Structure 1
Amino acid sequence: MTFLSRRTIVQAASAAWLASHLPGVAFAQDTGPIKVGVLIIDSGPFATYASLVEDSARAAVDLLNSEGGALGRKFEVVVQAHAGTPASAIAAASKLVQQGGVSFLTGQTPTSHSLAIAPKLAEWNALMIDVYSQGDDLMTKACQPNFFRVTTPDVVYTAMLREFVKKSGAKTWNMISPDYAVGHTFTAKFTDMVKEQGGTVQQTLFAPQGTTDFGSYISQLAKPADALMVTLYMSDGNSFAKQQKQFGLFDKYKTVLGNGFATEFQLSAQGDSVLGVLNGLSYHNTMPGERNAVFVKAYEARNKRKPIYTDADMMVAMELLRAAIVKAKSTEVPAVRAALAGLKTPTIYGEVEMRAADHTLIRQHGVAEVVKTPDGKATTFVMRSIVPGTQLFPPPSPECKVQ
């Protein structure tokens, strides 16, 4: 048996204390991976999208790691699935932080989930970069110090569509939206915008999440109007698209606009049923820039398809996280949060700014039309306009207190 002297024990204890308290001292765990928790939904209509979210996160991390990661450390994706309710989202996020050793969260978080998670982040000592939600409250009264977002909020999406509403000449509108937070907030914003231009929203329908039979809704929407706005996501949007075609619903309108409807990852399932739909689109793989070209090449080599807007949003979130960590020279949450607020950095979208006042990314947005591919065998998007974020985002709300 080996016995240690009292002096040796005291010296060892002192060294351990110093190593854990003095700044600049390297820890063993500081050389390990930077874990990023990715939430996905494995049941209900959003489950269709889960694998895409995971693929986009892993592709982004692979590219950043091939470039050296951050501070000499690699990124690591930690996936946590849940049932798709705000309560299950909180439980999944908590598990990632408290059991998975995760400090940074992202993933598949509809507005209702982000609203539930955001207030918990400070007590968890975690930071979230949202790549999914659209609700405006998250940049106004519901903003939180540890919550950041790269996606396009409803108010910006509405601003982008204003041009097309004006050009369409439509005076009367019908709308169908999901019967939860984002559907109601977008409907209110769009209705106000139509009224500002002298038009009328004559019919507003809300369909519960997971609706499979849209027959009654289609019958009501068949009443005369100049234009239709469709805000239906995932499998709900696919079901509506196929069923409306059976009744020729879109043929009854001069213009059909989509919000989260007829998106790139849905086109193969929706086929010709969404031809001519004008859809808000924040990104397309043909956008200019050397950084985007690198991303598209790397993504296509890894996933055997070109990236879509959801992949791009995840990539930008990871680029921002890396830039903030490098700027902070730390992975400690308070330091990264301070570095991320007001950060300006080059990304696949070009130079962007994470606005310090409300933790909202100021970025571009556009509108695209669903058209046939040149060979006529499939459908694709053609960008009709791209507008810089500085022309689209409203000023920060005085309701938001993040500093």
Structure 2
Amino acid sequence: MIRFSRRLVSQAAAAAVLALTMPLAMQAQAQAQTATGPIKIGVLTIDAGPFATYASLVEDSSRAAVDMLNAEGGALGRKFEVVVQSHAGTPSSAIAAVNRLVQQGGVSFVTGQTPTSHSLAISPKLAALNALMIDVYSQGDDLMTKACQPNFFRVTTPDSVYAAMLREFVKKSGAKTWNLISPDYAVGHTFAAKFSDIVKEQGGTVQMSLFAAQGTNDFGSYITQLAKPADALMVTLYMSDGNSFAKQQKQFGLFDKYKTVLGNGFATEFQLAAQGDSVLGVLNGLSYHNTMPGERNAAFVKAYEARFKRKPIYTDADMMVALEMLRAAIVKAKSTDVPAVRTALAGLKAPTVFGEVEMRAADHTLIRQLGVAEVVRTPDGKATTFAMRSVEPGSALFPPPSPECKMQ
């Protein structure tokens, strides 16, 4: 049996009183320090699996965006600072990483590499952590419908919007039969369902819809099935999975069997160098291109080229817009207090590298442009690049707010 002396009990009681009073004093001191210190931006990256190849790009884009905003004065006379936290690439490890950023890193604002499954896991935890997230990565529709959360915002284009952008191309293609290959996790199934609906709306038929596990190395069995072609093929495969599929399909001449090949996150600027000629002619939804109009975008492109000796791609632009919107919300709120910034960000309209955009208050979704681009050869014939075929404003593409979204 453990016995406690009266003296020890008295000491414990005194400690309890301190525990009740000290946090208030410490909080006031922390707030005073924070008011003059940097505004910390937590950036999640994945260091394992097929998404690991993307981690350095996410970190680079966050640091570049912060440096550009700091060169413009930061916000409220304070500079932004990036705090990077890597993890293993599972929803549970993503939650743990956010906890470390907030509890150990002093972070209130989070962004970074968050596939849909990660965002779905993180977003319900944000309010309890008194943290706010601006998603630059996920595409799942649930995050703006039944799974929306008050401390979660998103600048990326969701699946339904990509599908809407591709609707016109489905119509123009004249294809009546389609085959689909998608990743076997949430975003793949969501997009496949949305795209199948579009095909049916146009009087067509999806005759084959395949789902490949994340990290697939050998796509041979999938290619064999797809070699019995329809009129057109939709490919929704990301990162190293997309690269592997592109190279392996070329060995079999798979794309040559189709009149039209569309991509969703498949042939992207980030992957073109690795994919090479294997994706020539693919039409891909593209949320940003460096040739898009606007003085702010032109300045952004110039600064990026000077820093990285390359033009910015969609991931760079998404990060820049996320932090532009955060800065505008902080300035509007005249505070970095999370509830105040959340209130300011909901419904906020601000100038960005995309032009003037709006963070829709009803579901915390950024209403923004989207285009479709074709993979073509560069003028010198030595590489591949994108040629924009259409750009549509967000007002023409985004669905109205869903009644399933209940902001608490």
> What TM-score do you get using the length of structure 1 for normalisation?
0.94
> Are 1:286 and 2:291 matched, yes or no?
yes
- Specify which of 13, 28, 36 is matched with residue 20 of structure 1: 28
Q: Secondary structure at the match of 1:351?
A: strand
1:28 positional shift: 2.5
Residue equivalent to 2:60: 55
> Are 1:45 and 2:50 matched, yes or no?
yes
Q: Secondary structure at the match of 1:106?
A: strand
| Residue identity opposite 1:267 in structure 2 | L
- Aligned mates of 1:173, 1:28 — CA distance in 2: 59
Residue equivalent to 2:256: 251
| Residue identity opposite 2:396 in structure 1 | Q
> Are 1:212 and 2:217 matched, yes or no?
yes
1:29 positional shift: 2.3
- Aligned mates of 2:377, 2:237 — CA distance in 1: 22
Residue equivalent to 2:114: 109
1:26 positional shift: 7.8
Q: Secondary structure at the match of 1:105?
A: strand
Residue equivalent to 1:348: 353
- Specify which of 229, 237, 243 is matched with residue 242 of structure 2: 237
Residue equivalent to 2:78: 73
Residue equivalent to 1:36: 41
- Specify which of 297, 305, 315 is matched with residue 320 of structure 2: 315
- Aligned mates of 2:58, 2:386 — CA distance in 1: 21
| Residue identity opposite 1:92 in structure 2 | A
Residue equivalent to 1:162: 167
Q: Secondary structure at the match of 2:216?
A: coil
- Aligned mates of 1:44, 1:28 — CA distance in 2: 39
Deviations 1:241-296 (A, max 9, x none): 00000000000000000000010010000000000000000110011111001111
- Specify which of 89, 92, 115 is matched with residue 97 of structure 2: 92
Q: Secondary structure at the match of 1:265?
A: coil
Q: In the TM superposition, what are the counterparts of 1:122-271 in structure 2 within 5 Å?
A: 122-271=127-276
For structure 1, which runs of at least 5 residues remain unmatched after alignment?
1-12
| Residue identity opposite 2:66 in structure 1 | V
1:17 positional shift: 6.4
> Are 1:381 and 2:386 matched, yes or no?
yes
How many residues matched?
386
| Residue identity opposite 2:48 in structure 1 | S
> What TM-score do you get using the length of structure 2 for normalisation?
0.93
- Aligned mates of 1:91, 1:20 — CA distance in 2: 27
Deviations 1:74-93 (A, max 9, x none): 00000000000001100011
Question: Could you list the runs of 4 or more consecutive aligned residues of structure 1 that deviate by over 2 angstroms after TM superposition?
Answer: 16-21
- Aligned mates of 1:211, 1:279 — CA distance in 2: 22
Determine what percentage of the aligned residue pairs are the same residue: 85
| Residue identity opposite 2:253 in structure 1 | G
1:396 positional shift: 0.2
- Specify which of 391, 395, 406 is matched with residue 401 of structure 1: 406
| Residue identity opposite 1:20 in structure 2 | A
- Aligned mates of 1:300, 1:78 — CA distance in 2: 24
> Residues 18 and 134 of structure 1: is their aligned pair in 2 closer, same or farther, counting only changes over 3 Å?
closer
1:19 positional shift: 10
Q: State the Cα RMSD in Å.
A: 1.5
Q: Secondary structure at the match of 1:223?
A: coil
- Aligned mates of 1:57, 1:108 — CA distance in 2: 11
> Residues 183 and 338 of structure 1: is their aligned pair in 2 closer, same or farther, counting only changes over 3 Å?
same
Deviations 1:23-73 (A, max 9, x none): xx9813211000000000001000010000001000000000000000000
| Residue identity opposite 2:352 in structure 1 | T
Residue equivalent to 2:126: 121
- Aligned mates of 1:114, 1:18 — CA distance in 2: 32
- Aligned mates of 2:27, 2:234 — CA distance in 1: 60
1:18 positional shift: 12
1:20 positional shift: 3.4
| Residue identity opposite 1:226 in structure 2 | D
The more displaced of 389-398 and 301-310 is 301-310
> Residues 210 and 26 of structure 1: is their aligned pair in 2 closer, same or farther, counting only changes over 3 Å?
closer
1:303 positional shift: 1.5
1:301 positional shift: 1.2
Q: Secondary structure at the match of 2:75?
A: coil
Q: Secondary structure at the match of 2:270?
A: helix
Residue equivalent to 1:4: none
- Specify which of 296, 314, 320 is matched with residue 301 of structure 2: 296
- Aligned mates of 1:128, 1:308 — CA distance in 2: 22
- Aligned mates of 1:75, 1:139 — CA distance in 2: 28
